[in-house]
Amino acid sequence: MDQALTAGEWLFPVLTGLEFLPGEALTNGTNHGGTTTMSKVGFIGLGIMGGPMAANLVKAGHEVTGYNRSQAKVDQLVADGGKAAGSVAEAVRDAEIIFTMLPDSPDVENVVLGDDGVLANAKRGALLIDCSTIRPDVSRRVAEAAAEKGVRAIDAPVSGGEPKAIDGTLSIMVGGGTDAFAAAEAVLGAVGTTIVHVGPAGAGQTVKAANQLIVAGNIGLVAEALVFLEAHGVDTEAGLKVLGGGLAGSTVLDAKGAKMRNREFAPGFRLELHHKDMGIVQAAARDAGLSIPLGSLVSQLVAAAVAQGDGKLDHSGLLKQITRLNGRD
């Protein structure tokens, strides 16, 4: 079992972009020396994030077989050089490495733990990498069930949104045993550039919850700042540019500022999914006996935006809720 890390040791490297625990000599995927060992990969969930990730695994030289509920996503993977599966069982049966990228905790429970799911069909010795954003307790339960089947499992949620999924530059926070992490690090290098082992099973999801808390708060404040600038007749393009060069600058401001100015909310990460993630944050904070007043406020703003029909918009669409509150919609 891994030695427990403090909360600061878990969070600081991921939130600052630093890396630690670089891993041992690896046998799967593309290692840091640039050599490649092709692996048979099963990939379940080919949506906005999963599709580009699977395509990058193909580019890295892996044999990727994908399954998704909508056939169009599977067809796209085939066009990118992957293979199609007609079921979860078909996708994972011969796989050495299995990725799941699914919307919510019940989806992971059904797909991984179901009667004809991943663990019912995966071969002993396979490596399960769940990149979904789910509750930490579910990740721990999946890891325990996987161990009983002779399958190594890690929770490896990602951050960076669709652009970084496409570029293969995601930040990946990994929970699980050190041996499983060592086996996974190289193949994760095909989809991410900041890959950090943050602790035992469930720890990756805990850090991802912290990530979603920061991102939601940042989006809310960028929205408020933009409404503030507009109300005073300031050139918002110039205003956001100078803010981005100072202490107020952030990845969220760089990635979302211009789109928020132009009211372009095509989804890279939907508000309804961030609403789900804030529920994870709230539950985990309650379990730890914590008060997160700013997080609670932004969680309510996100919930209100979803309730008013904005759930399918990009999470930067929270701006619409802020403008409504100010009678400027």
Catalytically active residues are 208
Contact between 226 and 30 under an 8 Å Cβ cutoff? The reply is: no
Alpha helix segments (H runs only) across 60-202: 71-79, 88-92, 105-113, 118-121, 136-148, 161-167, 178-188
Cα-to-chain-centroid distance, residue 45? 12
Give the amino acid at 270.
R
Tokens, residue 323: 């403008």
DSSP state for residue 179 in the 8-state scheme:
H
**Checking DSSP bridges between strand 29-30 and strand 36-37, what pairing results, if any?**
antiparallel
What 3-state DSSP class applies to 134?
A: coil
What's the sign of the alpha-carbon dihedral 257, 261, 267, 269?
positive
